[in-house]
Chain A
Amino acid sequence: ETGVTQSPTHLIKTRGQQVTLRCSSQSGHNTVSWYQQALGQGPQFIFQYYREEENGRGNFPPRFSGLQFPNYSSELNVNALELDDSALYLCASSLGQGFAEAFFGQGTRLTVV
């Protein structure tokens, strides 16, 4: 059984650019959630995907968007990057809707300069 994997591990982008982060969910999991964790803060819920559809969204602007693929892997896209988007982005996968235990990836560290 493979765990949640995220890529890349680190990346640096320039303000105004666009970025795509990727997540492979744990084997058998059909729900993926994305979180943003700024330095010194707890993770903040961005959105959740269940069976390829957005299932819920936190307080993030539309330039944060996502996709889930038939194999349940997922992408987080951020357009028009701002300096405050610098953070650790976490992906978590779980089985089903509602809240089964979520398993987190190791995160992608995004730095916007």
Chain B
Amino acid sequence: AQRVTQPEKLLSVFKGAPVELKCNYSYSGSPELFWYVQYSRQRLQLLLRHISRESIKGFTADLNKGETSFHLKKPFAQEEDSAMYYCALRYSGGGADGLTFGKGTHLIIQP
């Protein structure tokens, strides 16, 4: 069965410092990975997906199939980055086509 692991429940860094939110997955098929973000009092929204290989709000994530990882990175954290971040894996097969989410990492950017 597929699984997404986010080892850090809480990550606190200072403004201007680099940020890395870790995500590891297990999946027997070809993975599609995503990062979702939830800002305070807002709904869950897509931040980026690995197939588009784009940078959103300064964040990037590279899929490393050898290490089964999809870590989210930003070189210089900003206070507005404080939010809940979820890594998700799309799976299909057996009639199901949905997302498996990790438990999330609460990122706090301190001034």
- Interface size of B as a range: 20 to 34
Please classify the interface of chain B as helix (H, G, I), strand (E, B), loop, or mixed, using the class held by over half of its residues.
strand
The total number of A-B Cβ pairs within 8 Å is 59
Bound together, the chains give a CA A106 to CA B42 distance in angstroms of 7
| A45 and B100 form a contact (CB under 8 A) | yes
Q: Which residue of chain A lies nearest to B51 when distances are taken between CB atoms in the complex? A: A99
Q: How far is the CB of A62 from chain B (nearest CB, A)?
A: 14
Tell me whether B56 is interfacial, beta carbon within 8 Å.
no
Tell me whether A66 is interfacial, beta carbon within 8 Å.
no
Q: How far is the CB of A84 from chain B (nearest CB, A)?
A: 17
**Of the 9-residue stretches B12-20, B62-70, B89-97, which lies at the interface with chain A?**
B89-97
List the interface of chain A (C-beta within 8 A of B): 4, 33, 35, 40-45, 47-48, 55-58, 90, 97-99, 101-107
Jot down 27 A-B pairs with beta carbons below 8 A, ordered by A: A4-B43, A35-B99, A41-B103, A42-B4, A42-B6, A42-B101, A42-B102, A43-B44, A43-B86, A44-B101, A45-B96, A45-B98, A45-B99, A45-B100, A48-B98, A55-B95, A56-B92, A56-B97, A57-B95, A98-B92, A99-B90, A99-B97, A102-B46, A103-B45, A104-B43, A104-B45, A106-B43
List the interface of chain B (C-beta within 8 A of A): 4, 6, 32, 43-46, 86, 88, 90, 92, 95-104
